[in-house]
Amino acid sequence: MNNTKQTFVFGFAIFAAFFGAGNLVLPPLLGFNSGPDWWLVGLGFITSATIIPLFALFAHARLQGTMLDFGNKVSPFFSLIFCFCVYLIAVALPCPRTAAVTHEMAIAPFFGTPSILTSSVYFVLVFLFVMNRGKVLDLLGKYLTPLIVIILLAIIVIGIFTTPSEIEPSIYNSAFLSGFFEGYQTYDAIAGLLTGGIVIISLNMQGITSLEEKKSIIARSSFIAMAGLFIIYIGLMFIGAHFNGQFDSSISRPELLSGLALKTLGNFGNISLSILVALACFTTAVAIIVGTADFFKGLFNESRSVYTITAIISCVLGILVGQMDVKYIIDVALPALMFIYPLTIVLIFLNVIPEKFASEKVFRGVVLVTFVFSIPDFLGFLMETNWLNQLKDTIPLAKDNLGWVFPSLVAFIILNLIKNKNPHLNE
């Protein structure tokens, strides 16, 4: 297989890995709420949902390893705990959200059955697929993703040429930051840490040993994948904004996506999109649980029992959380994301910059500062107290839930200045 063909093959594979169908309900409502400011909100969303994940893949191209390698310069123990937290969040939030999206888009509108029934049947089937992983999942992924993309592009193109003339004003005070934090909910930065390692393994299995060749393929295929996500995310945001006078302001995310499909493609498009999104959500849930079970299986000498136990726990958790509303799951996820995302972003940044600026001491110092200064942001979503507000008043950008950014940047600069003035220090 020549390099060009490999680039496109891996580009489509990466796109499919990031293309979690549950994420599709996010951009339309973001555009709906932002109105004429959709482009500014979109800029923030794209920053956290495609640009940062793109850098994660670039970092993997350099490391040529697994997600554990991202934090090893801090310490192997830290890296293990970080990976544990990432996988725990994955099975506790985005995985159950796929069941909730399936219920609200494909089950409740047509059958009206309770959500607990949907999530129970859904995760029983997920468990069966996880325990009998085979080509069925690959076939579903290969055919479902192109079909959904075709329908989405049809919705976007038709929507662009049929948008109403009047747009309702934005409800956001800070358009860019609203989009940036909504991008957290895609979990794409975390997906970048997980997917990059899989791509590395795939390249090795194909017998590609040249480091430069692997870097080139990963870089170009990553651009292709992120360009595809950019088009779909921005397109859905655009039509969400331009149709924001056509729906009630209290509409939910799944209802809005279904409503846009109905207005642009009619009943056939709405039903087709609902079914395809449900099936794609299912494959996403299976992939998350398989990846998590594989991770813990590897920690315990490839124990099959550990794989099974992890799958059972993940599916039970999925049933319990998956019966909740999509909005509730998204709201509950915010504190966890405010905790894990700053660390994820910093680790991606430190692994993608030149190594002379990212020694072990720089890694440890910057990660420690990021962790400490992200605590107020995390606590701010759990409680509202005077002392916490006073503390956030003293930290730059803390009122915007980015209190970790300035201290981390200062720590990065100071630690590099110290290193340059004392080159004899053991790194």
Q: What is the pLDDT of residue 251?
A: 93
Confidence check: pLDDT of 14 > 90: no
User: Are both 171 and 25 inside the same structural domain?
Assistant: yes
Q: Name the domain boundary from 319, 352, 385.
A: 352
User: Are both 415 and 311 inside the same structural domain?
Assistant: no
User: Are both 304 and 336 inside the same structural domain?
Assistant: yes
159-204 per-position pLDDT tens digit: 998 877 688 899 998 999 999 999 999 999 988 888 877 777 777 7
More confident residue, 209 or 183: 183
User: Are both 275 and 406 inside the same structural domain?
Assistant: no
User: Are both 172 and 53 inside the same structural domain?
Assistant: yes
User: Are both 348 and 359 inside the same structural domain?
Assistant: no
107-161 per-position pLDDT tens digit: 998 888 999 999 999 999 999 989 986 555 556 556 777 888 889 999 999 999 8
Confidence check: pLDDT of 13 > 60: yes
378-427 per-position pLDDT tens digit: 887 777 778 888 888 888 888 888 999 999 999 999 999 988 777 665 44
Q: How much is the CA Rg of the chain, to the nearest whole Å?
A: 22
How many distinct structural domains can be found in the chain? Answer: 2
Q: What is the DSSP letter of 399?
A: G
User: Are both 358 and 338 inside the same structural domain?
Assistant: no
Where in the sequence is the domain holding 365, given as residue range(s)? 354-427
User: Are both 360 and 286 inside the same structural domain?
Assistant: no
User: Are both 363 and 266 inside the same structural domain?
Assistant: no
Global pTM reads 0.90
Q: How far apart are CA 397 and CA 195, in angstroms?
A: 31
Q: Name the domain boundary from 329, 352, 375.
A: 352
Average pLDDT over residues 254-258: 93
Return the structure tokens found at 381: 């979503």
Count of beta carbons in the 10 Å neighbourhood of residue 313: 15
Residue whose C-alpha is closest to residue 281's, from 41, 99, 80: 99
For 66-123, strand residue ranges (E) read: none
User: Are both 348 and 371 inside the same structural domain?
Assistant: no
Percent of the chain past pLDDT 70, that is, above it, reads 95
Q: What is the pLDDT of residue 40?
A: 95
User: Are both 304 and 382 inside the same structural domain?
Assistant: no
User: Are both 35 and 146 inside the same structural domain?
Assistant: yes
- CATH number of the domain at 84, please: 1.20.1740.10
Q: What is the pLDDT of residue 157?
A: 93
Q: Name the domain boundary from 352, 371, 404.
A: 352
Residue 171 CA: distances (Å) to CA of 152, 245, 342: 26, 13, 26
Q: Which long-range contacts (CB under 8 A, 24 or more apart) does 404-407 make?
A: 404/342, 404/346, 404/369, 404/370, 404/373, 404/374, 404/377, 407/369, 407/370, 407/372, 407/373
